Amino acid sequence: MYLARKRIRGKIRYAIRQSVKTGDTTVSRELFDLGEDPGQYIVYPGSGPGFYFDDQLCEQLAEQGCEPDYDELESVFWQFLDPETQRVIRGFTRKAQPRAVQEQIAVQVRRCDTESFHIFDMRRVHYLRFGELDQSRIHAVPRKIYRSLLDKSRDEIEQQFMELEQVLEAREKKNYAYVIFDVPGYFTGPLARKFPEALDRDRLDECFLEALCRLNADTGFWAGLGVTKRLNDYLIRYACWFFDTDFAGSRYLEDLMWQFKARHHTYRPPAPRSAMPLDEAVSVMGISRDQLSGMTVKTLTRKYREKAKAHHPDKGGRHETFIRLNRAFEQLLRTVRAPSEKP
């Protein structure tokens, strides 16, 4: 059994449904209409946390061949239970799972390796589990993450995703719709799977609508529910999320920057060069201190050019000597006066 929700004229109505196997298809059947307030079918006999379920509910479930299981009903009505009752129940359920349950889970995990899951369901589970825009490695993850899809009708699976998707923040919803409909598959290059904001918006919209319509017409996917010309109710929210919200900020460019820094983390800037002593500088330039005192920037520059012509590597000079000459010139420029300055 599972709790189903449907919005009708702005209000949510609830029902208890059950997935049943019919031939090769698992379909859903409605067991009980709970109306807009399922809490009315929970009875608290006293002031304590004890409760039981309404007799009318239990009788109707029994008439449909679904003998009421209190643990199962408790799971269905959990969100409508009194908070204090929930607290008490949690205290009793914090124990190791019975061996039979552990064995059942182990069997389901093994089945996941051979079961065929619809790729749309796989994308949804993958995103809700890992939150990744890039699902190029979706088939490399352990298939046991899809265990919750086993033995469920299409209706129950969709109701399950409606509940799981409540964890999505508003800024994530367009990203989610973009990924689960594999819109990146319509584009080439890394931007589609890393930085969708950079793609052409009109082309994005066209690709999304094409994928949406293809899924809406997929009779295999909607087995047990049927296909109509109008957009299936379960797909409407995805269309709203894609067209009514913006992409969440991508970390693609930031990640590229961090990767660049990581590749160059051993880089160290060169140590600052010490100034050449004045006596060494005038010696390299071929002048004396007395000559330097009477020089201007213009006359020092003329002297540097003469020396540079003689020591330039292209003229047969030594590279090291030419570098020392440049350093000497830089040092001496700080000591001479500008042409307009008077001694």
Q: What is the mean pLDDT of residues 81-93?
A: 83
Residue-level pLDDT at 271 = 61
User: Which pTM does this prediction carry?
Assistant: 0.68
Residues 165 and 68 in one domain: no
- Quote the CA–CA distance of 340 and 343 in Å, as a whole number: 10
Higher pLDDT, 325 or 209: 209
What's the token pair of residue 4?
């189903």
DSSP E strands, the chain: 2-8, 11-22, 25-35, 42-43, 52-53
Domain containing 152 equals: 105-255
Please state which of the ranges 4-13, 58-67, 296-305, 314-323 shows the lowest mean pLDDT.
314-323
Residues 246 and 291 in one domain: no
Instruction: Specify the number of domains making up the chain.
Output: 3
Residue-level pLDDT at 252 = 54
Please state which of the ranges 45-59, 108-122, 219-233 shows the lowest mean pLDDT.
45-59
270 in a structural domain: no
CA distances for 325 relative to 142, 305, 321, angstroms: 68, 10, 6
Residue-level pLDDT at 101 = 78
pLDDT tens digits, residue range 290-336?
A: 888 888 888 888 888 888 888 888 778 888 888 888 888 888 888 88
Residue-level pLDDT at 152 = 94
Instruction: Say if residues 179 and 118 touch (Cβ distance below 8 Å).
Output: no
Higher pLDDT, 287 or 314: 287
* H helices, E strands: number in the chain: 15, 5
Residue-level pLDDT at 269 = 62
Q: Which of 255, 289, 314 finishes a domain? A: 255
- pLDDT for 340 beyond 80: no
Single-letter amino acid code for the residue at 288: S
Residue-level pLDDT at 272 = 64
Task: Tell me how crowded residue 323 is: count the other CB atoms within 10 A of its CB.
Answer: 12
- pLDDT for 113 beyond 70: yes
Residues 49 and 113 in one domain: no
248 in a structural domain: yes
Residues 183 and 321 in one domain: no
What's the token pair of residue 319?
């590279």
Instruction: Say if residues 328 and 280 touch (Cβ distance below 8 Å).
Output: yes
- Quote the CA–CA distance of 144 and 107 in Å, as a whole number: 11
- pLDDT for 267 beyond 60: no
Higher pLDDT, 97 or 238: 238
14 in a structural domain: yes
DSSP E strands, 131-230: none
Q: DSSP labels for 70-137?
A: HHHHHHHTGGGS-HHHHHHHHHHH-SPPPHHHHHHHHHHHHHHTT----HHHHHHHHHHHH--S--TT
Place of tokens 């690709």: 207
Of 117, 144, 151, which is closest to residue 2 (Cα–Cα)?
151
Task: Tell me how crowded residue 11 is: count the other CB atoms within 10 A of its CB.
Answer: 9
Residues 110 and 228 in one domain: yes
Read off the pLDDT band of 97 (50, 70, 90). low
Read off the pLDDT band of 127 (50, 70, 90). very high
Q: What is the mean pLDDT of residues 51-76?
A: 89
Q: What is the mean pLDDT of residues 230-243?
A: 95
Please state which of the ranges 82-86, 251-255, 260-264, 287-291 shows the lowest mean pLDDT.
251-255
- pLDDT for 158 beyond 90: yes
- pLDDT for 258 beyond 70: no
Instruction: Say if residues 70 and 58 touch (Cβ distance below 8 Å).
Output: no
Residues 138 and 29 in one domain: no
Q: What is the mean pLDDT of residues 6-25?
A: 90
Residues 174 and 111 in one domain: yes
In the predicted model, what is the mean pLDDT of the chain?
Answer: 87
Residues 20 and 88 in one domain: yes
Q: What is the mean pLDDT of residues 174-198?
A: 90
Residues 79 and 110 in one domain: no
